[in-house]
Amino acid sequence: MKPFAAVLICALAIGCAAPQPTSAPTPSSTPPPVSLPTPTPTVVSSASGTPSPVPSPSVNCVSDHTSASGAPLADECPSAIAAIDVLVARLGPIEQIRIEPGPFDCGDLWPGVGTPPACFGPAIFPGREMHGWAGFLGTAEVAAISLERSSLEPKSVTAPFGPWKATIAALVVPPAGWVMP
């Protein structure tokens, strides 16, 4: 019985082996495909090799020109714009910037929408605080930004002031109905 089982296993192994290819074509095989000429790719460049420039943002800044003592202040808009630019540039291409003197009124980041909060704001010395918004290309998100600077002279409430410290108060899609002032 053992020799029979060994022969049977060998027969099965030989019968299950992959058939050897023959050199003569069989009637059921298909002829090889006819090779067609390969088209030569053509590269057409409509770009000049330089990236398209990002449009300059629309910037509107209202400066607070009078100090607490009544003396004229230097225009703080250029330095405030630069501070906002540095802060939000990493968020995407800037489409629009609006800056106003003073802090956000009673913390209201989106004025003109809803009922304004009833509060009494702190005494703010002109030229020390500003606030604003930055809108970005390709998105409805807006950054609400607080700007603050301290005096270069200890215990002084008058000019000269130090550099702006810009902080993002919110980066969201503003409430429906809000329009950048």
Q: Is residue 177 part of a domain?
A: no
- pLDDT > 90 fraction of the chain, expressed in percent and rounded: 35
Q: Is residue 69 part of a domain?
A: yes
Q: Is residue 129 part of a domain?
A: yes
Number of neighbours of residue 135 by Cβ within 10 angstroms: 20
CA distance 130 to 99: 7
141 has pLDDT over 70: yes
| Overall average pLDDT of the 141-159 stretch | 77
Number of neighbours of residue 84 by Cβ within 10 angstroms: 27
Residues 6+ apart with CB under 8 A from 132: 61, 80, 84, 97, 98, 99, 100, 144, 145, 147
Q: Is residue 3 part of a domain?
A: no
Residue 141: which of 172, 96, 110 has the closest Cα? 172
Per-residue model confidence as pLDDT tens digits over 34-45: 444 444 433 333
Q: Of 18-32, 48-62, 146-160, which gets the smallest average pLDDT?
A: 18-32
Query: pTM of the prediction?
Result: 0.63
- Note whether 98 and 180 are within 8 A (CB): yes
Establish whether the linkage from the previous residue to 160 is cis, with ω within 30° of 0.
Answer: yes
81 has pLDDT over 90: yes
**3 state DSSP class of 59:** strand
For the CA atoms of 105, 110, 111, 114, the dihedral, rounded to the nearest 10 degrees, stands at: -110
3 has pLDDT over 90: no
92 has pLDDT over 90: yes
134 has pLDDT over 80: yes
Q: Is residue 151 part of a domain?
A: yes
**Whole domain around residue 100: which residue ranges?**
58-111+124-172
| Overall average pLDDT of the 22-31 stretch | 51
**pLDDT, the chain, mean:** 73
Q: Is residue 99 part of a domain?
A: yes
Q: Is residue 77 part of a domain?
A: yes
Q: Is residue 89 part of a domain?
A: yes
**pLDDT at position 136, please?**
96
CA distance 30 to 33: 9
Structural domain count, the chain: 1
